[in-house]
């Protein structure tokens, strides 16, 4: 089986967290043809790995992913998006890439999508917006 990894990087603004990115893994919750894996246990294991490595994550509701096969058949898969803010560097990219390939092999699918987006943060200021606007 050929396993592909799709990594899309969204450009962002330079800021004090310019070395930080939001990684989103789209974890298939529909098993492939040869898979006999407990997908709930797999999702828990993935979440534990990310939490142990980076200290935090966000899970989004399981959603539908739709796609058209080369023969024009339409398929629907269930996916569980898991997000993590982590350092944007080659080591983190490689870690998430290897995790995505591992997921694809375990689930029995051809692709697992990994999205990388630059994070922009806004640091809390001691002055409120209303105080700043009063100066103008």
pLDDT of 114-124, one tens digit each?
A: 999 998 766 66
CB atoms within 10 A of CB 77: 17
Average pLDDT over residues 36-65: 93
What are the structural domain ranges in the chain? Answer: 4-135
Q: CATH for 4-135? A: 3.30.70.120
pTM: 0.74
For residue 110, give the DSSP letter.
Answer: S
- What's the half-sphere exposure (Cβ side, CA atoms, 13 Å) at 109? 22
> What number is the average pLDDT over the span 88-108?
93
Query: Which pLDDT does position 53 carry in this prediction?
Result: 97
Task: Say how many C-beta atoms besides its own lie within 10 A of residue 84's C-beta.
Answer: 20
Segment 62-75 mean pLDDT: 91
Q: In sequence order, which ranges of the chain are alpha helices (DSSP H)?
A: 39-54, 90-107, 129-135
How much is the average pLDDT of 104-114? 88
């Amino acid at each position: 089986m050929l396993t592909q990894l799709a990594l899309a990087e969204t450009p962002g603004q330079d800021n004090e967290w310019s070395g930080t990115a939001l990684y989103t893994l789209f974890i298939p919750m529909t098993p492939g043809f040869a898979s006999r894996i407990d997908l709930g246990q797999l999702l828990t294991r993935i979440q534990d790995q990310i939490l142990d490595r980076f200290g935090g994550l966000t899970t989004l509701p399981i959603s539908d992913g739709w796609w058209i096969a080369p023969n024009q058949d339409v398929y629907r898969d269930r996916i569980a998006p898991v997000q993590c803010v982590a350092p944007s560097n080659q080591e983190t990219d490689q870690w998430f890439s290897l995790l995505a390939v591992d997921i694809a092999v375990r689930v029995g699918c051809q692709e697992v999508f990994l999205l990388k987006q630059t994070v922009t943060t806004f640091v809390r200021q001691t002055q409120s917006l209303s105080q700043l606007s009063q100066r103008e």
